[in-house]
A and B are shown apart, each in its own frame.
Chain A
Amino acid sequence: EVQLVRSGAEVKKPGESLKISCKGSGYSFTSYWIGWVRQMPGKGLEWMGVIYPGDSDTRYSPSFQGQVTISADKSISTAYLQWSSLKASDTAMYYCARSGASYWFDPWGQGTLVTVSS
């Protein structure tokens, strides 16, 4: 079974750094893109970026370029999403998902809730 298992919920203060993870299993991790999607409270889905773990080719949404860093460690089948300095507006659910050739997302991880509050 293809699965993406995310790291647990985080509560951080503004200005702090954070790195959340997403571990893939049940498929060839290096053969599919992994994407990250943000969902702010009560809002819709926003694509943040994707990474191809096979060669670490990374593409960002213009809306998130420079705001976050996406990386992957293929030796442990894990993708990461990180912030260097969190803001309150980063409070959201963050989903990772495997992505296919035409950028469909399937399956999705359960989501990591990030809360940024002073």
Chain B
Amino acid sequence: AQSVTQLGSHVSVSEGALVLLRCNYSSSVPPYLFWYVQYPNQGLQLLLKYTSAATLVKGINGFEAEFKKSETSFHLTKPSAHMSDAAEYFCALKRGGGNKLTFGTGTQLKVEL
């Protein structure tokens, strides 16, 4: 069975500090991985996706993620946090050729002055 684990349901950083949101996956076949962001009272918006073309994936708003097969991880980073980054972030996994996305439980990011 495939699954996604997001470590830390709440992460707090200072404005300007590094953002690191952790995602580990379990999949018996090569996965396709996604990060979504959800701003308050809104739907989910795609930040970036890994589809095996490159292990370092750049997304919108300065976010990037690195796929590490040996660590079964796909952590999301941003060098310098901005107040506008405060939101909930979801990691999701899709098996190649499948229809379904499996979501992690989400990480709420708080950015403090």
Asked if chains A and B come from one complex, the reply is no
Using CB atoms and an 8 Å cutoff, list the residues of chain A in contact with chain B: none
